A and B are shown apart, each in its own frame.
Chain A
Amino acid sequence: MSKKLTEEQYRKTFSFRFRQWLDGTKDPYLGEVEMKKQKPFVEDAQTAAHRIQDEKEVEERAYDLEHNAEVRIFNRIYRVFAVAFCIFLVTMLLIGVSDLPTFGDAHNPANNEVAERYIEKGLEETGAVNIVTGMILDYRAFDTLGESHVLFIATCTVLILLRLDRKEDREANEADDRTHEPKNDVILQTVARILFPPIIIFGIYIILAGHLGPGGGFSGGAVIGAGLILYLNAFGFAKTEKFFTAKTYKVMSFAALACYSLAKSYSFYTGANHIESVIPLGTPGAILSSGLILILNICVGVVVAGTMYTFYCMFRKGGH
């Protein structure tokens, strides 16, 4: 038996609100999302005059084709030369590639004792079920040590370029922030609230299982970094800074890289001086196995996650 609803009751039902939303007669964000109109771009008269003057001067001096013979000649030959050069380079590379050993041939030079030992003895020597992890974090750990410092130094370079250190710059940026995005987006916040924990847990899983299956510090760190970026987008700096500030990043990346360097120094030193390493390899397949690889994966993961998050923060507003 159907029940008769009063209008007031009817207005509270889901179907009514859905219909309203569908028709566009009601905005569900009203009162929920902080909306502010974008500030119009206003240029004061003096700057505008300066800019126009500058542009005119550049136009006259550099691109005055009648009097600037260099630019004229350059413009004329540049396109022809660029196309010719590209065709030349592509032809050379294609010829080179066509003469390379056939892809997948068993007798290729690349199928030699090096790959053989990685595949046949990798598990036994490194204790990692995932041979690739064993290769990059044990056989050729020096390269990976360099590679993780590449990430670190890339972050530092972005900090040099984009970090706003003066307080007034930061405040001006903060005041201008509303022009970029609406705050407290309900959809984004709801989705982030649901997705954030699984993303982080999945990232941690990838890192911790790096020596057991596909995964490792680089990919797991990227997943965690993506999760942090999602959280930051949904809730803003005020909330993320409760657990992740610039200082946290500094300390974390230092700790991770220092731990990596020290662990590898130990293994390089003992290896070169023919001293038996005391670190047990454990049972292959167990979570606590394969010697230093697990620790190194965690270090790499921390560095990668920090790098991604810091890149995002810097490109977003020059930090906070």
Chain B
Amino acid sequence: MDFVQNFPFISILLSLFSGPLTSILNGKWAKRVNTLVITVIGFLSGAVLFYVLGTGEAFVYRMGHFPAPWGNEIRVGVLEGFMALFFCAVMLLCMLGGSAEREREIEDSKQNLYYIMVNLLLCSLLALIYTNDLFTAYVFVEINTISACGLIMIKQNGRTIEAAVRYMIMSLLGSGLLLLGICFLYDLTGHLLMSNIKEAVAELAATGQYHVPLFLSLGLISVGLAIKSALYPFHAWLPDAYGYSTVSSAAILSSLVSKGYIFLLVKIFYRVIGFSVVCDSKVINVLFVFGVIGMIMGSVSAIKEGEIRRMIAFSSVAQIGYIYMGFGLGTEEGIVASVYHILSHCATKSLLFVAASGLTDASGGSRKFPDLTGAGYRNKLAGVAFTVGSLSMVGFPMFSGFISKLLFAQAAMEHDRKMMITLVALAISTVLNAIYFMKTVIRIYTPAAKGYAHPDSRRIPLGEQPDKNLALVFFILLNVMLGLNSEPIVELIRKGLGMFS
């Protein structure tokens, strides 16, 4: 066995261990440890990705002395390695971009608790990406949920506490449904290991035995994970949670936490239930319908919103809708488009949150649109970054959002019944996206008339927020790279999905 094969295990254990370690350090050292851990894990994941690309096949890593159905194991393919690398990169940038706000908004004595949450969140994301066992996935979903709650409420004011309570209730409901679904599956198949369940489910689907419970468990798991990732009718917790928490939390929650659950769902579709069984069930139609409604309703809510952070948060509802619509198409191409959109949304939404915080800093901390007038001149880089993010969200060529919309449209063309609905929904949603994002971009580049600007607004020179500006530059590069260099990435996703089965 090659030594590289140990890297996924090392990265999970490293991030897990760094949680308790951070609890005995002070805020400054906790931050250093956190940055170091994310960077090291990023490199390890990169090495794993290149190794898997080299060998061309997925490998299984046994966690302990007992082989799989008895012990635990993790499984690593191209897509897993790539996701881990991408998540680490985005998380590092989110932490960098929000460091000034964090120090300002969180009590000094609680700084290190923030890094505990982030370390364990990273660990749970890695475990969700790599695991080959449904119950292990559930355990790390728990860690993910609790740490996300902590990230929301660590900036303590009434709004965030309320948001955290809402998030906790909805998220626990989602966890409960997921657990019920796993229990049903275990009862039907007698296994918790993904590969074994898949064999058993294929047999059950062929004979038609236990049809109802099987269908029900698929439904429970899909709905549970949809609630946790804020699919349209279950999104009530989202705007407050993203809108009022500290910037790095909002960026991490929107770009990583919800995507972790979606990736788990993709994994369950491919590795647990089997993609053909999923496509034959009615569940994907439900996901499709809610996805399409979410694309439109999320954008409508965003247009109605009066402040920038909540507007970006509502835009997430629409984007999550895109991803579930891709699942709902029930074709390989649809899933590829969805996975690409996960990456694209991940890179863009965190960029928008960080850029928006730069703009609000230049407007006396106010998030209301009238106060943001001319903010693009007061904080130049944040203005440019926000424009890039907006163009990407709207689907302007050269940026990542364009490619994902193109992929969705191409995937829809292969489908007879759902083609028209998908294309029309894409068109409407694009126009709506353009309305609220371009409105904001125009607003921040309209010179503020004297006397109308917020009294505390001031010009922020480039050198004042070096961390944030560095993060913004990297985010822009990431976006342009995804937009201009999409072919190899789409190829990689195809290869990764191929390795799933």
Q: Which residues of A contact B (CB under 8 A)?
A: 92-93, 95-97, 99-101, 108-115, 117-118, 125, 138-143, 145-147, 149-150, 152-154, 156-157, 159-161, 163, 165-166, 250-251, 253-254, 257-258, 261-262, 264-265, 267-274, 277
A161 to B19, CA, bound (A): 18
| Known contacts A100-B188, A100-B213, A272-B63; A261/B17 CB under 8 A | yes
A274 to B6, CA, bound (A): 12
Query: Is B415 in the interface zone, CB < 8 Å from A?
Result: no
User: How many CB-defined contacts (below 8 Å) exist between A and B?
Assistant: 177
A261 to B23, CA, bound (A): 15
A152 lies within 8 A of B20 (CB): yes
A112 to B135, CA, bound (A): 17
A152 to B7, CA, bound (A): 25
A150 lies within 8 A of B142 (CB): yes
- Which residues of A lie under 8 Å from residue B187 when comparing CB positions? 100-101, 108-110
A264 to B123, CA, bound (A): 16
A157 lies within 8 A of B149 (CB): yes
B142 lies within 8 A of A273 (CB): no
Query: Is B484 in the interface zone, CB < 8 Å from A?
Result: no
Query: Is B72 in the interface zone, CB < 8 Å from A?
Result: yes
B110 lies within 8 A of A160 (CB): yes
A267 lies within 8 A of B146 (CB): no
| Known contacts A140-B71, A271-B62; A254/B23 CB under 8 A | yes
- Which residues of B lie under 8 Å from residue A145 when comparing CB positions? 16
| Known contacts A114-B69, A153-B120, A156-B117; A271/B110 CB under 8 A | no
Query: Is B109 in the interface zone, CB < 8 Å from A?
Result: yes
A182 to chain B, nearest CB (A): 32
8 Å CB contacts to A: which residues of B46-92?
61-66, 69-72
A255 to B61, CA, bound (A): 27
A146 lies within 8 A of B136 (CB): yes
A150 lies within 8 A of B146 (CB): yes
A161 lies within 8 A of B72 (CB): no
Chain B residue at minimal CB-CB distance from A270: B65
Q: Which of A92, A109, A166, A267 contacts B188 (CB 8 A)?
A: A109
Query: Is B93 in the interface zone, CB < 8 Å from A?
Result: no
Query: Is B43 in the interface zone, CB < 8 Å from A?
Result: no
A152 to B216, CA, bound (A): 34
A110 lies within 8 A of B190 (CB): yes
| Known contacts A113-B69, A250-B23, A269-B9; A153/B117 CB under 8 A | yes
B13 lies within 8 A of A109 (CB): no
Q: Which of B13, B66, B69, B147 contacts A153 (CB 8 A)?
A: B147
- Which residues of B lie under 8 Å from residue A274 when comparing CB positions? 1
B161 to chain A, nearest CB (A): 8
Q: Which of A96, A111, A166 contacts B190 (CB 8 A)?
A: A111
| Known contacts A99-B212, A112-B191, A117-B70; A146/B139 CB under 8 A | yes
B19 lies within 8 A of A146 (CB): no
- Which residues of A lie under 8 Å from residue B107 when comparing CB positions? 165-166
- Which residues of A lie under 8 Å from residue B213 when comparing CB positions? 96-97, 99-100
8 Å CB contacts to A: which residues of B182-222?
184, 186-191, 200, 210-213, 216-217
Chain B residue at minimal CB-CB distance from A158: B150
Q: Per-residue CB proximity of B124-147 to A under 8 Å, as 1/0?
A: 000100000101100110110011
A165 lies within 8 A of B135 (CB): no
B120 lies within 8 A of A254 (CB): no
- Which residues of B lie under 8 Å from residue A93 when comparing CB positions? 180, 216
Chain B residue at minimal CB-CB distance from A262: B17
A109 lies within 8 A of B66 (CB): no
A100 lies within 8 A of B70 (CB): no
Q: Which of B1, B70, B142, B156 has the most CB of A within 10 A?
A: B70
B212 lies within 8 A of A271 (CB): no
- Which residues of A lie under 8 Å from residue B362 when comparing CB positions? none
B34 to chain A, nearest CB (A): 14
Q: Interface majority SS on A: helix, strand, loop or mixed?
A: helix
Chain A residue at minimal CB-CB distance from B188: A109
A115 to B154, CA, bound (A): 43
The 7 closest A-B pairs by CB, nearest first: A109-B190, A142-B72, A146-B139, A165-B109, A96-B216, A271-B65, A257-B20
A47 to B389, CA, bound (A): 44
- Which residues of A lie under 8 Å from residue B113 when comparing CB positions? 156, 159-160
Pull 20 A–B residue pairs with CB atoms less than 8 Å apart, ordered by A. Answer: A93-B216, A100-B187, A101-B187, A108-B190, A114-B191, A138-B65, A139-B71, A142-B71, A143-B133, A153-B150, A157-B146, A157-B147, A159-B113, A161-B153, A268-B9, A268-B63, A271-B63, A271-B64, A272-B1, A272-B63
A258 lies within 8 A of B64 (CB): no
B398 to chain A, nearest CB (A): 41
A128 to B211, CA, bound (A): 39
- Which residues of B lie under 8 Å from residue A161 when comparing CB positions? 153, 156, 161
A81 to B70, CA, bound (A): 45
A133 to chain B, nearest CB (A): 15
Query: Is B21 in the interface zone, CB < 8 Å from A?
Result: yes
A49 to B71, CA, bound (A): 63
A149 to chain B, nearest CB (A): 6
A268 lies within 8 A of B120 (CB): no
| Known contacts A267-B65, A268-B63; A146/B21 CB under 8 A | no
B6 lies within 8 A of A272 (CB): yes
Q: Which of B24, B61, B66, B147 has the most CB of A within 10 A?
A: B66
B24 lies within 8 A of A251 (CB): yes
Query: Is B325 in the interface zone, CB < 8 Å from A?
Result: no
A160 lies within 8 A of B136 (CB): no
| Known contacts A100-B188, A141-B72, A142-B136; A258/B20 CB under 8 A | yes
- Which residues of A lie under 8 Å from residue B154 when comparing CB positions? 160
Query: Is B337 in the interface zone, CB < 8 Å from A?
Result: no
- Which residues of A lie under 8 Å from residue B149 when comparing CB positions? 157
- Which residues of A lie under 8 Å from residue B127 when comparing CB positions? 146
- Which residues of B lie under 8 Å from residue A118 when comparing CB positions? 70
- Which residues of B lie under 8 Å from residue A166 when comparing CB positions? 107
Query: Is B493 in the interface zone, CB < 8 Å from A?
Result: no
Q: Which of B61, B136, B200 contacts A272 (CB 8 A)?
A: B61
Give 9 A-B pairs besides A143-B72, A153-B120, A261-B13 with Cβ atoms closer than 8 angstroms. Answer: A96-B213, A100-B184, A101-B187, A114-B69, A114-B70, A140-B71, A165-B110, A250-B24, A272-B62
A118 to B192, CA, bound (A): 14
B23 lies within 8 A of A150 (CB): no
- Which residues of B lie under 8 Å from residue A110 when comparing CB positions? 186-187, 190
B143 lies within 8 A of A143 (CB): no
- Which residues of A lie under 8 Å from residue B356 when comparing CB positions? none
- Which residues of B lie under 8 Å from residue A253 when comparing CB positions? 20, 23
B16 lies within 8 A of A261 (CB): yes
